[in-house]
Chain A
Amino acid sequence: MATTQEASVMKPHQTERTGPKRAIRVMGVSHGFGELEVLAGIDLEVAEGEVVGLVGPSGCGKSTFLELVSGLAEARSGSIEVEGAGAGEPTARLASCAYMPQRDLLFPWLSAIDNAALAPRNRGESKRASREAALPLFARFGLAEFANAMPNELSGGMRQRVAFLRTLLAGKPVLLLDEPFAALDAITRGEMQEWLAGALLAEPRTVMLVTHDVEEALYLCDRVAVLSARPTRIVAELQPKAPRSLDRAGAITDPGFTSLREEALRALREHSR
């Protein structure tokens, strides 16, 4: 009945019969800039703790989509709910989402730990308290010795790790990762993918990962949506059979994985023009 469905939307903590509770629901979202139509009706649901990848050609509006989900901008039409905060409540969505940009954007005037602890600091906690909040994560992810390093003393991979901790420390249930490893070289990227897989197993969050790298998406995500070129729609949804693992080399050479990758690439090719 419609009323009971409404009730479950209104009360996000109520577990639905069908499985884990829904964290993000995107319905018929279209958006554009002036005459340019960027998103043409996106529907997507993400369950709590699920890692969903969005793969698409350059300029297809992946980043724009993340901005809409996070509440930094409002879509022209359609509705977006994050953790029960719906359309017309962008600030409430902002309160549930942490955004990790493609470039690490570490502030050169802050040490690694102060960069990571920006969110608690922004909320008004003392420098000491926010560092204390960040330190266990640094230790846990093998960054303890770099806590007091300045960003220019860190390698690209290290900087990206600090940037990810900064996103985690925002303490939000939903992480929006915008091509987090696109700027890294191939070897570091592979290492970082394994590191992120481990981090997300240790600190489970609802994640939307935007990337143009099919392999990265299929390795890191529970589900991958393939996007078309502008005006952007979802043209395929793929679900890796194996659960997320720390063994990247093993995962990406699995026959099931390679056939999914072919399928994703085919979908991308078909819809990239």
Chain B
Amino acid sequence: MKKVLLPLAVVALLLAIWELLAQTGALADLLGIRESVSDVIVPAPTDVAQSLWDDRDLLVDNGWITLQEMLGGLLIAFALGVGFAIVLHLSETLRRAFYPILVASQTIPIVAIAAVLVIWLGFGIGPKLAVVALICFFPITVNMLDGLRSVDPQAVRMMRTLDGSRSVILRRLELPYSMPQFFSGAKIAVAIAPIGAVLGEFVGANGGLGYLITQANANLLTARVFASIVVLSAFALILFLLIVAAERTLTPWGRKELS
């Protein structure tokens, strides 16, 4: 309980300070914004809460679109991430050939690629899935590959004398052994998935929270922008907690060396 209470208290404190600064106009003064428009431009947490309630239909509809993009993209990212990790683990040649390319794929400015993806894949869900998958597969691949490669060579040798074939060793030793690291990668992936989805929507979309943010921003509905951000954060947080729960259930032994 203490683990939850402390961060909650910090959040409550920050919100209270923000509320105070917004209500007294101190935040607007600080930013050099005229008092007449300060309510619009610098919403207080209570304004954001109001927007969360008033715009609930809008947030639910657009949130659902973004959630689909995130989940779809994550699904692709998990498949690609795990697949790449296994293939690169099994083949030294492929690892040397493709690992640098995988790393290079993360140096591409994702905004630039997103624009091209819209041209290629249209305004639908396609480019958003692609952007989410592109930024999320990487932490999964890298972490899981590290996990697979850190398996004790003594354990592999032992498995060979216990009649383990290559595929049996992968299935019965290396994959379970690398599960904790897979989950480390998965946690990063779900935390950055909303970034990918919103980015994909910024470049070209007619729905989704990223789209809603662009529209609200243009209309100076700042409270709605913040409300959308709150929903996005909630998505990431819930996915993160789901991964933590899956990790606890599936790998109760934790990240332990073989002894």
Contact = CB atoms under 8 A, between A and B. Distances in A.
A8 B104 CA distance: 62
Given A109-B253, A122-B172, A170-B162, A67 B258 contact: no
B162 A101 contact: no
Contacts of A109: 176, 179, 251, 253
A156 to B, nearest CB: 9
A98 B172 CA distance: 18
A58 to B, nearest CB: 17
Interface in B131-182: 152, 154-155, 157-165, 168, 172-173, 176-177, 179
A119 B163 contact: yes
B3 interface: no
A105 B253 contact: no
A98 B162 contact: yes
A266 B13 CA distance: 74
Contact of A152 (B163, B179, B253): B253
A123 interface: yes
A101 B172 contact: no
A127 B160 CA distance: 19
B162 A166 contact: yes
Interface of A is mostly: mixed
B163 to A, nearest CB: 5
B159 A122 contact: yes
B165 A122 contact: yes
Contact of B154 (A94, A105, A123, A159): A105
Interface in A94-146: 94-95, 97-101, 103-109, 118-119, 121-123
A148 to B, nearest CB: 15
Contacts of B176: 107, 109
Contacts of A123: 163
B163 A107 contact: no
Interface string A53-81: 00000000000000100101000000000
Interface residues of A, number: 29
Nearest to A178: B154
Given A99-B157, A101-B154, A118-B172, A107 B162 contact: no
B253 A108 contact: yes
Interface in B202-259: 251, 253, 256, 258-259
Contact of B160 (A72, A103, A106): A72
Given A105-B258, A152-B253, A72 B157 contact: yes
Contacts of B172: 107, 118, 121-122
A118 B162 contact: yes
A107 B160 contact: no
Contacts of A100: 158
Contacts of A108: 253, 256, 258
A112 to B, nearest CB: 14
A170 B253 contact: no
B256 A99 contact: no
A101 B154 CA distance: 7
Nearest to A95: B163
Contacts of B259: 103-106, 159
B157 A67 contact: yes
B164 A99 contact: no
Contacts of A122: 159, 162-165, 168, 172
Contacts of A70: 161
A101 to B, nearest CB: 5
Nearest to A96: B161
B206 to A, nearest CB: 47
Given A122-B163, A122-B168, A170-B163, A107 B173 contact: yes
Given A101-B154, A118-B172, A106 B258 contact: yes
Given A70-B161, A152-B253, 5 more contacts: A94-B161, A105-B258, A107-B173, A109-B176, A170-B161
19 contacts: A72-B157, A95-B163, A97-B161, A98-B161, A99-B157, A107-B172, A107-B177, A108-B253, A109-B179, A109-B253, A118-B162, A119-B163, A122-B162, A122-B165, A122-B168, A152-B256, A166-B162, A170-B163, A172-B161
The 3 A-B residue pairs with the shortest CB-CB distance, nearest first, are A108-B253, A99-B161, A119-B162
